[in-house]
Amino acid sequence: MAKIALITGATAGIGEACAHTFAREGYNLILTGRRMDRLERLADKLNEEYNVKVAVSSFDVRSREQVVSNLDTLPADWKQIDVLVNNAGLSQGLDPVQSGSYEDWDTMIDTNVKGLLYVTRVVSNWMIDNGTGHIINIGSIAGKEVYPNGNVYCATKHAVDALTKAMRIDMLKHGIRVTAVHPGAVETEFSEVRFKGDKERAKKVYDGFEPLVAQDIAETVWFAASRPAHVNINELTVMPTAQATATNIFKK
Answer with the entry of ligand NDP, ligand 8X3, none that 122 interacts with (C-beta below 5 to 8 A by kind). none
Is position 185 an interface residue for ligand 8X3 (rule: CB under 6 A)?
A: yes
By CB under 6 A, name the one of 88, 142, 217, 221 that touches ligand 8X3: 142
If one asks whether residue 227 binds ligand NDP (CB under 6 A), the answer comes out as: no
Nearer to ligand 8X3, 33 or 150 (CB): 150
Name which position in 2, 35, 196, 204 contacts ligand NDP (CB under 6 A). Answer: 35
Residue number with CB closer to ligand 8X3 (171 or 249): 249
> Which of ligand 8X3, ligand NDP, none is residue 193 near (CB under 5 to 8 Å by kind)?
ligand NDP
Taking the complex as a whole, the smallest distance from the CB of residue 194 to ligand 8X3 amounts, in Å, to: 7
β-strand partners of 137: 86, 180
50 is catalytic: no
Confirm or reject binding of residue 140 to ligand 8X3 (CB under 6 A). yes
User: Given the rule CB under 6 A, which of 6-14, 77-85, 138-146, 221-229 is the region that contacts ligand 8X3?
Assistant: 138-146
Q: Does 183 bind ligand NDP (CB under 6 A)?
A: yes
Choose between 84 and 141: whose C-beta lies nearer to ligand 8X3: 141
Return the active site residues: 153
